[in-house]
Structures are given as C-alpha cells and as structure tokens.
C-alpha cells in the first residue's frame, strides 16, 4: 500500500510518497509561489486524483488536479469555482475541498464565506445559494485569517445533509440539499463578546470541526477558546477542553477507526500562537474528550510556531498514522496513533494544509 501526503504551503505544494510510512520521497514545489490552502487526495476512483486549491497574487485562485501524483497538473475549466454575476463577490481563496457522499460529488469551502458543490468530479461547481443568501451572512465577520468556510462535512450516507463551519460565523447544517441552513452553536461560547452575550445563536469563531463516518451524529470542534463535543450533530455542545493546558488551537482530528479517539494541538492563544511552554505536544483523548494524554517523543522543544487548522490529519492504516505541518516549514509523522514522531521533511515554506490518502493493497 502506498501512502500519499500533500503539503500545501504559502509558496507551493509538495507531494510525498511512502510504502512503509518511514521512508518518504517528496516532489515539489508544484505551483511555485502560489498559496495552497486546501488539498485533497481523492481515492474514490481506480487511481488517486490530487486536488489543490491554489491562489496566485497575479492570476487569482484556481482549483487544479492531477491524475499522476503531481507529474502533470490541469486547471478546472474557466476557473470552475466562481461567484455568479450579481452575487457581489469575487473568489479570494479555496479553503477546503472534500469528497461528497455520492460518486463524482465534491464540495469546496471558500473565502468569502461560501460553499460550492460539484456533481461531475470538479469540472463545474454551483454556488450553494441557500447558504449564500442566509440572513445571517451580512453579520458574519472576518477572523484574523479572513472569512471562510474552512470546514465542510458531508454526511457519509445522506447526500442532502451537510455540516459546515466558518470563522467567524459558527456551525451551520442543511438537511434538505442546501435549500435551508440552520445554525448549530448551542453551548459554544464566544469569549471575545461581552459577558452576557457569550453564547449567541451564531457568530462564534470556530477553528475546525470533524466527525467520524461510523458515528455521523458525533462532532468535535476546536474553537477560538474551547474544545467541544456534540452527540446530536451540532444541536448542542459540551466542553471537553478543561484538562488541556490551553483550550485554544486550530486543528482537531478524529481517529479513522475509533470515533472516541481525537487529537488536538493546543496553542497559547492570546499569550502567543505557539504551544504552552514552547514545547510541541500532541494531546490525545481515547474517551471522547473526558481525559487527555500528551505525546511529544520526537517532537521539538523551543517550538515557537503554530499548526494551522488543516495542517494535521490522520491516514487509514491500523495503527493510524498522524501527520502535522508547522508554520516553520517542517512536517512530522507518527505511525503509532500519535505516540512517537519523526521528521519527514523540513525547510519548506509556511505550511497551511496537510492531507493524506492510502492507495493499493
């Protein structure tokens, strides 16, 4: 079996391959000097297709794809993802590209905050107008990194159900194929609001949401202050971050086989966007957030950079592999559920997205 790792940075994309997850070979940079905020290793076909959401300072954003592991790349026709005339918006970045619940379906989350859907493998996309025209949209703010739908979670069996999240707006869900969208933020606090307004209907600064396909009603969220679990698909949320050294961070990743196992990478929040004590540690919970254990073997000390929301991911091997990329251009990998780590590539530009796929076998 071959493991494929895509590393998107501020200045291009690198593609890694490994047959044992110990020795890696990387090619790149692909799309040199372009920002790559989103990647996807789509393994649904007979051969993997790589997608990269790139953004050029001169040519703007583009969704590119490759069927030969990055040797050649193609652009989606006419930009594919673009706002229709009259929308009053221009695409700035593609923050997320994920496979949908049906063959050939893809969803893209963008900046400004919108979701686009393709039913033809990415050849064309349609704006989810029910979300774009939502009455809350005019009150969504732009977080420090910009207003964007960075989380898009298709229901694993119901193509009409989709959960999404943006900074700063919160979590929303549709169950009717995108015609209507409801906020799903009850129990998530917004520390940046006045004391008596910290649990609003919407407006939370969500950093990332994830879920396990075998338990689609179970969601986990890493917020701008707060780590949460929902057992009713976002209808209500319970705080699970009290035992962590900080409840601020960006990524949250669920185990590929165990829906009660999750990983986070805490940062210092307003005190510094690097780990507490400047020690790189991945924290794992095996009981859905009731307790947490830190792991740092192989990770560096004196670590004064962060790990962004899409720069940590897990593969589908057993035991699971975990991958994280940092803003100093380094990428580490674990082959034992995150307990020990090794550097697999370094000295890249600022890492924004790390995505993995497993093929063959």
Total residue length of the chain: 361
**DSSP 3-state assignment of 271?**
helix
Cα separation, 245 vs 143, whole angstroms = 24
Q: How far is CA 55 from CA 38, 65, 147, 356, in A?
A: 10, 14, 16, 21
pLDDT at 29 (0 to 100): 97
User: Which contiguous run of DSSP H or E holds residue 131?
Assistant: helix 129-132
Mean pLDDT (whole number) for 142-159: 90
Mean pLDDT, the chain, as a whole number? 95
Q: In 3-state terms, what secondary structure has residue 132?
A: helix
Mapped onto helix, strand or coil, the DSSP state of residue 323 is: strand
**What's the pLDDT tens digit per position in 123-149?**
999 999 999 999 999 999 887 778 999
Rg (CA), the chain: 19
| Residue range 310-320, pLDDT digits in tens | 999 999 999 99
Structure confidence by residue, pLDDT tens digits, 214-235 = 999 999 999 999 999 999 999 9
C-alpha dihedral sign at 359, 5, 317, 228: negative
In the structure encoding, which two tokens stand for residue 185, read together?
């933020």
**pTM, to two decimals:** 0.96
According to the model, what pLDDT value does residue 361 have?
65
CB 126 within 8 A of CB 105: no
Q: Are strands 106-111 and 93-99 parallel, antiparallel or unpaired?
A: antiparallel
DSSP state at residue 136: T
Q: Provide the pLDDT confidence category of residue 76 given band limits of 50, 70 and 90.
A: confident
| Whether the Cβ atoms of residue 241 and residue 247 lie closer than 8 Å to each other | yes
Place of tokens 């559920």: 337
Query: What domains are defined for the chain?
Result: 2-359 (2.130.10.10)
Tokens found for residue 101: 């619940």
């Amino acid at each position: 079996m071959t493991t494929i790792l895509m590393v998107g940075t501020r200045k291009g994309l690198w593609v890694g391959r490994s047959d044992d997850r110990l020795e890696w070979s990387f090619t790149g940079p692909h799309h040199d000097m372009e920002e790559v905020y989103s990647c996807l290793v789509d393994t649904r076909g007979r051969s993997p297709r790589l997608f990269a959401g790139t953004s050029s300072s001169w040519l703007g954003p583009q969704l590119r794809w490759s069927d030969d592991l990055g040797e050649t790349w193609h652009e989606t026709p006419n930009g594919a993802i673009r706002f229709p005339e009259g929308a009053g918006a221009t695409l700035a970045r593609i923050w997320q590209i994920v496979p949908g619940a049906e063959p050939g379906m893809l969803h893209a989350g963008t900046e400004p905050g919108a979701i686009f859907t393709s039913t033809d493998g990415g050849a064309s996309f349609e704006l989810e107008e029910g979300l774009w025209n939502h009455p809350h949209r005019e009150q969504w703010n732009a977080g420090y990194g910009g207003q964007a739908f960075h989380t898009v979670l298709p229901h694993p069996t119901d193509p009409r159900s989709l959960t999404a999240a943006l900074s700063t707006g919160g979590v929303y869900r549709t169950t009717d194929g995108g015609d209507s969208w409801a906020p799903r933020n009850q129990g998530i606090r917004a520390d940046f609001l006045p004391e008596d307004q910290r649990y609003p209907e919407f407006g939370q600064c969500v950093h990332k949401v994830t879920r396990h396909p075998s338990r689609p009603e179970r969601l986990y969220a890493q917020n701008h202050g707060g780590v949460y679990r929902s057992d009713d698909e976002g209808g209500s949320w319970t705080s699970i971050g009290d035992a962590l050294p900080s409840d601020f961070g960006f990524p949250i990743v669920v185990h590929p086989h165990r829906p009660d196992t999750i990983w986070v990478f805490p940062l210092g929040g307003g005190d510094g966007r690097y780990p507490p004590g400047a020690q790189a540690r991945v924290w794992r919970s095996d009981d859905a957030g009731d307790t947490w254990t830190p792991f740092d073997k192989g990770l560096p000390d004196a670590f004064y950079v962060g790990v962004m929301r899409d720069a940590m991911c897990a593969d589908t091997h057993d035991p699971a592999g975990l991958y994280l990329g940092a803003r100093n251009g380094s990428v580490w990998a674990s082959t034992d559920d995150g307990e020990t780590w090794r550097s697999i590539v370094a000295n890249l530009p600022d890492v924004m997205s790390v995505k993995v796929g497993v093929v063959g076998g």
